[in-house]
Structure 1
Amino acid sequence: MTNARLPTSLELLGWSDFFADQIEPADEDLVPRRIASVHRARIEAIGVTGSVELELPANANTADFAVGDWVLADPSSDMFVRRLDRKTVFQRRPEVGRGQQLVAANVDTLLIVTSCNADFNPDRLERYLIMANQAGSKPVIVLTKADATDDVGLFQTQAEALQRDLPVIALNGHSADAGFLLRSWCGAGQTIALVGSSGVGKSTLVNTLTGPAYGSKQKTGNIREYDAQGRHTTTARSLHAIPGGGWVIDTPGIRTLYVSDITDGIDTFFADIVELAPLCRFRDCTHLHEPGCAVQAAVKNGTFAAERVERWRSLVLENRDRTPTISGPRGNKSVRKKKY
């Protein structure tokens, strides 16, 4: 099976050499399945023969699976055997608990959805971008409700300034043009995922992308006018087919984003600061008050805004303080979250 050419239908599901290279001789009687939805007590998947409900071992925890995962299963019983390594994974650390909460896996492009109203929050978008960078997915900011404002250009300019070479698309989620504007990331075998606050139009956009003939529609809801906040209309993550061969994962709205265990994502987001740091006199420069600091010199000559450096420092400290550390005597280690 390792050397055989994979069926085209598997490739259309998002299968690639990255996953094929993980197939071992002992797996030759198993079949690949892709996780399509995760619920409290069950998991649905899709394969070359259609949709199936995976049988899980008695000790399995559905929280260990993400929509978009590739797994191997016994074709006669649909029993889960093992999960393949993820190419990308978007996850977040909730306010309580020690582990990371899986959001989506094997996503090529992460659409960070916000709207052209009071929901637009550059600080929150920074956090989404950092998490997208950490996940390994290409981030794209999607500005919805563009038809309801006269200041689309202002929103777009602010979003584009957040990260180097960041694509920003403004659209009306109800319009058929939305699919045309996002077509570059929705090709055959490509997977996109939508993340953002409740009420910004994620489910509406999923419905527009999938079209009237593709499965059940996602529920949509209204927003409060005074603060542009909406209710959670999507309660579970799910994978949907896009006409043309792509796939879209819708996710519930995320109220709070904590920066934790995400150093690489921060370094990518603040690449301009990271690239300049080796020119500082001291290797452990904090870019705050040390003599010979190349970053502070850039602030003084106008290359960097002082606010950007302060944002970098704030997020680095939050990441350090919120990332669990190992403590306790040897043989009795425990995970302890640093306090402010």
Structure 2
Amino acid sequence: MNTTFSLADLGWQPFFQQQLDLAEWDSAMPVRIAAQHKSRLIVYGESGQYALDTPPSLGTVTVGDWLLLNESMQINRLLERKSAFARRSPGSKVAEQLIAANVDTAFVVCALNEDFNLNRIERYLALVHDAGAEPVVVLTKMDLIDHADELREQVQRLDNQLCIEMVNGREATSAEVLLPWCEAGQTIVLLGSSGAGKSTLTNSLLGESIQLTSEIREEDGKGRHTTTSRALLPLKSGAMIIDTPGMRELQLAVGSDAIENTFADISDLALQCRFADCCHDQEPDCAVRAAMESGILDERRYDNYLKLKREQIRNEATLAEKHKAEKALGKFYKRTQSVSRENKGH
């Protein structure tokens, strides 16, 4: 695989260029993180591919981030992100986990077989809206069912402006419908659950089998999780693509705006309620309840909206408490060090 790129090939944009000061314009070398391996980073730059140690002072980074290197090939700093995908860490751990950064378009990949799930698609759309990227829903395995158009229409009803494409990931010509989003200089991330067909789709777009894939299990129609790490891969079109491991658990760490944007139809209906603080339960002249009773609004969609709102509020409060505790601990360390220095002086 070619590992020599121009900055434009790697997705360098004016947004990043404007972050450099005059000295950095002449001496700094921008590189982009292509892969992470514990304390080592694989980066791509104009002069090739490099493996770098991750300094503790760098902070949390992820695939897609841009770094500035000095003349000694050491990391100076991390550039501000144009977009960032993050979720709450799986399990009981209270932390955010970065998924990818500086992405232009997110392909939300969902299989059309037994794994088809509208609630999950809405969850991923909230993640994409929070990140600040363009969502495109990619429905895979269309060759396995005979009612693909019906399921596509169900997804379209989530948002009539949503871009949706159906593909058979094993046929390269089928994936060509995605090429308009894969132009030179663009970065795409593939998101979806295990077995949705992300790695197969990546291989179709790459034109070669780089990502491992697994066969579908006949008993439940599901694939097995194959991608175990994220990597930035170049497409022949000049775009960059990031395949991600299937997420069995996607706890949202998004802001309230992401939920409202994902469920814009419900937000618009709520503005028509008589009371601004309407709970859409027993209040008179409730536009949301009226829409459900008339069949305009699907009750499944409204229930999922409430579920994601509760989750967002709970996770936001939990993460805020964690950040507050970390800030207090940092102040404690600084005070302790200051007292220690004073005592040494005496």
Q: Please indicate the TM-score interval, normalised by the length of the shorter structure.
A: 0.7 to 0.9
Alignment of 1:141-160 (within 5 A): 141-160=137-156
Greater Cα shift, 9-18 or 313-322:
313-322
> In structure 2, how many angstroms separate the alpha carbons of the residues matched to 1:99 and 1:82?
23
Which one has the bigger helix percentage?
Answer: 2
> In structure 1, how many angstroms separate the alpha carbons of the residues matched to 2:321 and 2:220?
42
> In structure 2, how many angstroms separate the alpha carbons of the residues matched to 1:287 and 1:308?
14
2:8 to 8, 11, 14: 11
Report SS of the residue matched to 2:271. helix
Name the structure 2 match of 1:81. 76
> In structure 2, how many angstroms separate the alpha carbons of the residues matched to 1:97 and 1:35?
26
Name the structure 2 match of 1:318. 311
Name the structure 2 match of 1:291. 284
- 1:234-271 CA-partner distances (Å, limit 9, x unpaired): 11100111112111101111001223443121110111
Alignment of 1:26-37 (within 5 A): 26-28=23-25, 29-37=27-35
Report SS of the residue matched to 1:36. strand
Counterpart of 1:43 in structure 2: which amino acid? L
Deviation, 1:304, is: 2.4
2:259 to 266, 281, 285: 266
> In structure 2, how many angstroms separate the alpha carbons of the residues matched to 1:71 and 1:324?
31
> Would you say 1:25 and 2:22 are equivalent positions?
yes
Counterpart of 2:50 in structure 1: which amino acid? V
> Would you say 1:173 and 2:169 are equivalent positions?
yes
> Would you say 1:49 and 2:42 are equivalent positions?
no
Please, which runs of 5 or more residues in structure 2 have no aligned partner? 330-346
> In structure 2, how many angstroms separate the alpha carbons of the residues matched to 1:157 and 1:103?
29
Counterpart of 1:244 in structure 2: which amino acid? S
What TM-score does the superposition give when structure 1 sets the normalisation length? 0.87
> In structure 1, how many angstroms separate the alpha carbons of the residues matched to 2:299 and 2:118?
16
1:90 to 85, 105, 109: 85
1:301/1:152 Cα in 2 relative to 1: closer, same or farther (>3 Å)? closer
Tell me if the contact between 1:114 and 1:197 (Cα under 8 Å) persists in the aligned partners.
yes
Tell me if the contact between 2:127 and 2:254 (Cα under 8 Å) persists in the aligned partners.
no
Report SS of the residue matched to 2:305. helix
> In structure 1, how many angstroms separate the alpha carbons of the residues matched to 2:300 and 2:114?
22
Deviation, 1:60, is: 4.8
1:305 to 281, 298, 302: 298
Deviation, 1:66, is: 1.2
Name the structure 2 match of 1:338. none
Counterpart of 1:168 in structure 2: which amino acid? I
> In structure 1, how many angstroms separate the alpha carbons of the residues matched to 2:62 and 2:286?
43
Tell me if the contact between 1:287 and 1:296 (Cα under 8 Å) persists in the aligned partners.
yes
> In structure 2, how many angstroms separate the alpha carbons of the residues matched to 1:159 and 1:315?
18
> In structure 2, how many angstroms separate the alpha carbons of the residues matched to 1:303 and 1:45?
50
> Would you say 1:280 and 2:273 are equivalent positions?
yes
> In structure 2, how many angstroms separate the alpha carbons of the residues matched to 1:281 and 1:42?
57
Percent of aligned pairs sharing the same letter: 43
> In structure 1, how many angstroms separate the alpha carbons of the residues matched to 2:113 and 2:252?
25
Please, which runs of 5 or more residues in structure 1 have no aligned partner? 1-7, 336-340
Deviation, 1:170, is: 1.0
Tell me if the contact between 1:35 and 1:71 (Cα under 8 Å) persists in the aligned partners.
yes
Counterpart of 2:301 in structure 1: which amino acid? R
Counterpart of 2:165 in structure 1: which amino acid? I
Tell me if the contact between 1:39 and 1:236 (Cα under 8 Å) persists in the aligned partners.
no
Greater Cα shift, 272-281 or 128-137:
272-281
Larger Rg: 2
- 1:158-204 CA-partner distances (Å, limit 9, x unpaired): 22222331111111112121342111100010111111122222111
Counterpart of 1:14 in structure 2: which amino acid? G
> In structure 2, how many angstroms separate the alpha carbons of the residues matched to 1:154 and 1:11?
40
Deviation, 1:83, is: 0.9
Deviation, 1:51, is: 1.2
Counterpart of 2:214 in structure 1: which amino acid? G
Report SS of the residue matched to 2:94. coil
Name the structure 2 match of 1:184. 180
- 1:4-45 CA-partner distances (Å, limit 9, x unpaired): xxxx92122111111111112342311111111112121111
Name the structure 2 match of 1:116. 112
Deviation, 1:223, is: 3.0
- 1:34-65 CA-partner distances (Å, limit 9, x unpaired): 1111121211111111211123325556xx11
1:226/1:163 Cα in 2 relative to 1: closer, same or farther (>3 Å)? farther
Counterpart of 2:317 in structure 1: which amino acid? P
